Amino acid sequence: MKYRFLIVFYLLCIQSAATFAQTYSILIKGGTVIDPKNNLNQIMDVGIYEGKIKKIAKDINPSEARQVVDAKGMYVTPGLIDIHGHVFFGTEPNHYLSNGLVAVPPDGFTFRVGVTTIVDAGGAGWESFSEFKNNVIFNSKTRVLSFLNIVGEGMRGGNYEQDTSDMDPNLAAAVAIKNRNDIVGFKVAHFIGNDWKPVDNAVKAGTLANMPVMIDFGGSTPPLPLEDLFMKHLRKGDIFTHAYTLLEGNVRETIVDEATQKVKPFVLEARKKGIVFDVGYGGASFNYSQAIPAVKAGFYPETISTDLHTGSMNGSMKDMLSIMSKFYAMGMDLPAVIKASTWTPAKVIKRENLGHISENAIADVAVFSMRKGNFGFYDKTGYKMEGKEKLECEMTIMGGKIVYDLNGIAKPIYLK
């Protein structure tokens, strides 16, 4: 009896010592780490502990980790940052993207594609932001941020988004300053008219709060000139979304001349000035006739984003990985695609604590495989590109916790 007790005690001591020796909660082994901030594109191990990146090294002993993720043959990247989504979902009819039925709950559409941070692009204005914060931001596992609409009511559609009297830069800036942890800038969207007031009021709010502005340029007949928007109204760091769109009816000017297939000279000057060109794919805001010649000319998007909502995700957009795969198929190399989906958007929204895999950084990590096969990537016009490779999310880690594991590549698997 005495010897049996000693044996049990000895085994417990060994187990306790092994547990004590585990210096990582998660160890990702053997994957190709692509981290644009740190110029990494090589096979490395990544150790995570207490929600942070603890170590990046060539070979970390797996016995030191509670869980080991076999990422051999896969890509390990920072968690993706989608800076143009619509997640102010609700149950109010006729509220469009502001507490309405067209926006989507973030957690259902983020982790499964490697997104750990999504920015709602203008769903809430200064009048409705508290509802968005209480209902969505506080109740999402995904990190949800906001571009505050310059319209107080937000994106309720119709006449609400045309009401210039509800575009108060002082009230918008005050709400943004009070909620700096959640609001990263301001949004102009869907205004139809020959008037610069929405843009100028948003820029004024951005100046007051020291935040960027995202512009969905709406439309007018004839179109307001993009050169004036870029060179006379916007500042360095402001964002032009839906960069590769061609709308019917000649209501918005394009960045590529459709006749010559050349990027317009003033667009190149705007990039030099510091205007940020964002994809903002959406349901009707991406055309290959704009994107292919732009990419061939080296005019890549600084930020890749979805404009996620029920219409776009069930159309040609699908999700972040579909868009990233399209730009990869068009000729962007994979590190450039990852940079436009991680580190650059983090800088654009002034959240440099995100978007990279550095020691002591927040452990937001995505693990992707590159599927081989025959894939069709089409746009809203039905134009289709063929591709042989497509990104697929194998795992998403948010704040040091596995929140999505497609094929059970973590060992052991813990369901809680």
Residue 233 marked ligand-binding: no
**DSSP state string for 23-45:** -EEEEEEEEEEEEGGGTEEEEEE
Distances (CA, A) of 12 to 5, 62, 203, 412: 11, 21, 64, 20
Kindly state the helix (H) or strand (E) to which residue 176 belongs, with its residue range.
helix 169-178
298 φψ region: left (φ > 0), alpha (ψ -120 to 50), beta (else): left
CA dist., res. 114 & res. 75, Å (int): 12
CB burial class (10 A; 0-12, 13-18, 19+) of residue 92? exposed
Residue 372 marked ligand-binding: no
Residue 411 marked ligand-binding: no
Residue 307 marked ligand-binding: yes
Which two structure tokens, joined as six digits, stand for 118? 């999504």
With beta carbons less than 8 A apart as the criterion, state whether 370 and 65 touch: no
Instruction: Single out the residue of 113, 109, 147 nearest to residue 341, CA to CA.
Output: 113
Strand partners, 390: 371
CA dist., res. 309 & res. 297, Å (int): 30
Residue 86 marked ligand-binding: yes
Residues belonging to the binding site are: 84, 86, 187, 242, 307
Which residues sit in the known binding site for Zn(2+)? 84, 86, 187, 242, 307
